[in-house]
Structure 1
Amino acid sequence: MAASPSSPSPSLSPSPSAAFAGGVSAWSPSAQSPSPNLTNFFVWREFVWGAFAGAFGEGMMHPVDTLKTRLQSQAIITGAKAQKNIFQMIRTIWVSDGLKGFYRGISPGVTGSLATGATYFGVIESTKKWLENSNPNLSGHWSHFIAGGIGDTLGSFIYVPCEVMKQRMQVQGTRKSWASTATKGNISQIPGTPMYQYYNGMFHASCSILRDHGLKGLYAGYWSTLARDVPFAGLMVTFYEAMKELTEYGKRKYLPESNLHASNSFEGLLLGGLAGGFSAYLTTPLDVIKTRLQVQGSTTSYNGWLDAITKTWATEGLNGLFKGSVPRIIWYIPASALTFMAVEFLRDHFNEKIHPDARELTSLSVDSRSEVEEAT
C-alpha cells in the first residue's frame, strides 16, 4: 500500500504493507533496522498530519454540515410535518441568519475534527501493521476496517462533546432566530421556553451543558455516534485502500507500457472523495438518529437509540431515516477528498524533511531491497 507507514520487517522477506509514509520502503533486515525512536517518529507524524487534514476538511465544508444538521433535526425543532427540502432550508438559513448562520458551531467542529483526524490516521497506520503481523488472517481489508474503527473510537472521547456543542449551535443560528423558534413552540418544548439557552460560543456551550445536564449532556448520543462512526470510519478506509489497489491493478493490466503517473495527492483527492461519499450514504440512517438524540433538549422526544429508530420509521418511513443524505454526501465527498489529499501531500512533502535520519533510512531500505532481489 502506497504511503502507509509501518515498522520495518524483522526478516529479509517484505511485509504485506512494506512502506513508510512518503514511500520509504521497509525491506531492511533487523541488523540494519532504524532505531525505535525513528520508527515511532514516523508513526507519530501520522497523528499530526491527520489532525491538520481533519481540521482543514471540516473548516472548508462546515456550511454544508450545518445544512445537513438543520434538515435532520426538523422533526425536533419544528415538528414532523411540512419539512423543508434542501433548497428551502438554504433559503431559510440565509434569510434568518445570513452567511454567519452557515458557520455557527465551527469552533467545536474544527476542535473535534483535530482529535478525530489525529487518532483516525495515526491509529490506522500503527494498528493496521500490528494486526497484519500478529494475525495474518486479518490482513488486507479486514485490518483496514478494524484499524479505522479503533482510530475513530479513540477520537470519540473528544469528538462527541464537540459534536453535541456544534450541532446545538448549528440549529440555533443567530440569537434572534433562536428566540423566534422558541416562542412558536413545537413537539419537544413548552411554548415560550427554549430547549436550551442560546450559546455565545464553544466555552459558553460546554459550561452551560455541564451545568444543566452534567457530563451525560456533553456525551448525549454517544453510543449512537459510535454506531455511526465506527462502521463509517472502517468503510471509508477500506474503500480507499481497495480503490488504490484497484487503480494499481488497472494501470498494470491496461497501461503496462505507459509512463502515466498520478501523484499521491491527486489519488488522495479522487479516491478519498469517492470513499467518503459511498460510506456517507450507507451510514446516513445512523447519522439521522445520532443528530436527533444530540439536539433534543430537556423535554426529550426519544428515549434512546432504539426508540428514535422506531418513532422515525413509524412517522416518516424510509425517507425519514435517509433525511439529509444528499447534503451528507455533498459534505463528505469534498471533505474526505480534501482530508486524504492533505494527508498524502504532507506525507510526500514533509516526511523526508523533518528528521535527518530519514534519508539514511531511505537509502538503507533501497540498498537492502536490491540485495534481496540479487540474492533471489
Structure 2
Amino acid sequence: MAASPSSPHAAPGVSGQSLSPSAPSPHLPNYFMWREFVWGGMAGAFGEGMMHPVDTLKTRLQSQAIMTGAKNIFQMVRTVWASDGLRGFYRGISPGVTGSLATGATYFGIIESTKAWLEIANPNLSGHWSHFIAGAIGDTLGSFVYVPCEVMKQRMQIQGTQKSWASAVAKGNISQTHGIEMYGYYNGMFHAGCSIWRDHGLKGLYAGYWSTLARDVPFAGLMVTFYEAMKKMSEYGKTKYLPHSDLHVSNSFEGLVLGGLAGGCSAYLTTPLDVIKTRLQVQGSTSRYNGWLDAITKTWTSEGVRGLFKGSVPRIIWYVPASAFTFMAVEFLRDHFNDKVDADAHEVTSLSMDTKSEVEKSA
C-alpha cells in the first residue's frame, strides 16, 4: 500500500483492512496472519478445482507424450471424452489440488504477513515494492510443495484411464524418444510419487524446478502488485466520482474482476519467461540452447519480440479465470468468516477473564 500505516485513510490492502492509528503496537507475533494461510489454501484449492479440466486439456496439448490425432483444443475435448469420459478431464486433480492448496496458503499468508512487516517495520519498502516482494516470497515457499505436485499431476493428466493408456502404448500412439520406455501407469497420487522417487529420486520430483521458479516468482509478485494497485484505483474512483452514491460492490465481485485482470496482465508480461522455460524443457537430447541467456539471445535474433511473446493469448485465457476464482474465494472467505473468528476469539477471551475474576474473588 502506498499510504502510510499511520494515515487514517490508508488504502485497503489485499485483506480489505486498513492499518489505522488504533492498531496495536507492532510486535513480531502480530505479523503472522494465520487466517490468511487458511483462506488462501482454500481459495487455491477452489481455483484449481474449477480450472482443472481446462488445465488437463492444456497439458495434453503441450505434452509430447499424448495420444496423437488431436491438433487443437476442440479435437482434444472429443479425444478425452471418447477414451475416458468425464473422469478423463479430472485426472491428476488430487496432486493438483494439494499443490494449489499449499501454494495458495503460503502465497496469501506470506503476502499479508510479509506486507505487514515491511510496511510497519520498514516503511521505506512500503507500497508496490512490499506487494511484489511479499508475493514473490509466498510463491517461492509454496514451490517446495507445488513443483512435485505439478510433476505428478501432469503425468497423471496425460494418462487418462488405465485401459486407454495401455491401449495407446500397445498401439504405439505415444510420442516418445526411441529406445526409452514410457513410464508405467499411476493409480493415484501416492503411487505416482513413490514411483517417481524410486525411478528418479528427488531430482525427478523437482524436474524443471529452477525454470518454473524463474517464471512463477515474477508472475506472483506482479499479480499481487497489480491487484493492490487496482483496488486502490477502485477506492479512489469511488471517493472522487461517486462520493454520495449508495452503490455497493461486494469484495467477492471485486476480487473476481480485479483478480482476473491482475492475473491476465501478469501472465502477458511474463510470457517471455514461459517461452524460454518451455523451449529449454522440450529441446530434447539435441540441445539447441545453452542456458537461459543463450535461449533469449537466439530467440530475439531469429524471431524478435513476437518470438518471446508466442503463446501469450492461451496463457492469458488460462490465467484470467484461474486468478479470478482464487481472489473471489479469498475475499468471500474474509468477508464471511473473519468477523466470526474475531467474535469467537473475543468471546473465549472474555470468558477466560471472567473465570479468572471469579477465582480471584473466591480466593
1:319 and 1:94 map into 2 onto residues whose CA distance is: 34
Distance in 1 between the 2:167 and 2:112 partners? 48
Inter-CA distance 178–300: structure 2 relative to 1 (3 Å threshold): farther
Aligned pairs (5 A) from 1:259-278? 259-278=246-265
Kindly provide the amino acid, as one letter, of the partner of residue 49 in structure 1. W
State the distance in 2 between where 1:129 and 1:65 align: 34
Tell me, in whole angstroms, the C-alpha distance in 1 between the residues paired with 2:227 and 2:237: 15
Counting only pairs closer than 5 Å after superposition, residues 125-136 of structure 1 correspond to structure 2 as 125-136=112-123
Deviation at 1:77, TM superposition (A): 4.8
Q: Is the 8 A contact 1:268 1:344 kept in 2?
A: yes
Q: Which amino acid aligns with 1:27?
A: P
Residue 145 of structure 2 corresponds to residue 158 of structure 1:
yes
Q: 1 CA distance for matches of 2:286 and 2:176? A: 6
Alignment partner of 1:184 is 2:172:
yes
Q: Structure 2 unaligned segments of length 5 or more: list them.
A: 348-363
Give the Å deviation of 1:120: 0.2
Of 107, 112, 116, 1:120 maps to: 107
5 Å-filtered alignment, 1:1-376, equals 21=15, 23=17, 26-28=20-22, 33=25, 39=30, 43-74=33-64, 77=66, 84-182=71-169, 183-184=171-172, 188-190=176-178, 194-287=181-274, 306=292, 309=295, 325-356=312-343
CA distance in 2, matches of 1:255, 1:206: 54
Which one-letter code corresponds to 2:151 in the other structure?
V
SS of match in other structure, 1:256: coil
- What are the superposed Cα offsets for residues 71-97 of structure 1, whole Å, 9 maximum, x if unpaired? 2224x6579xx9722222222222232
Task: Assess if the C-alpha contact under 8 Å between 2:31 and 2:116 holds in 1.
Answer: no
Q: Deviations over 1:150-208 (max 9, x none)?
A: 000000111100000001111222223333444527764236x6431111110000000
Change in Cα spacing, 1:202 to 1:293, as seen in structure 2 (3 Å) is farther
The alpha carbon displacement at 1:107 in A equals 0.2
Letter in 2 for 1:237: V
Q: Which structure is richer in relative contact order (CA contacts within 8 A, separation 6 or more)?
A: 1
d(CA) in 1 for partners of 2:341, 2:26: 16
SS of the counterpart of 1:154?
A: helix
* Aligned twin of 1:374: none
Q: Count residues with an aligned counterpart.
A: 342
Does the 8 Å contact 1:167/1:295 carry over to 2?
Answer: no
Equivalent residue letter for 2:47:
G
Question: Equivalents in 2 of 1:126, 1:104: separation in Å?
Answer: 34
Q: For the residues of structure 1 that align with 2:214 and 2:182, how far apart are their CA atoms?
A: 25
Judge conservation of contact 1:161–1:218 (CA < 8 Å) in 2: yes
For 2:230 and 2:14, the matched residues in 1 are separated by: 20
Q: Give the structure-2-normalised TM-score.
A: 0.80
Aligned-pair Cα RMSD in Å: 3.8
Q: Which runs of 5+ in 1 are unaligned?
A: 3-7, 361-376
Change (3 A) 1:145 1:20: closer
**C-alpha contact (below 8 Å) 2:110/2:138 kept by paired residues:** yes
CA distance in 1, matches of 2:14, 2:71: 48
CA gap 1:19/1:283 in 2 versus in 1, 3 angstroms: closer
Label 1:226 to 1:201 Cα distance change in 2 as closer, same or farther (>3 A): same
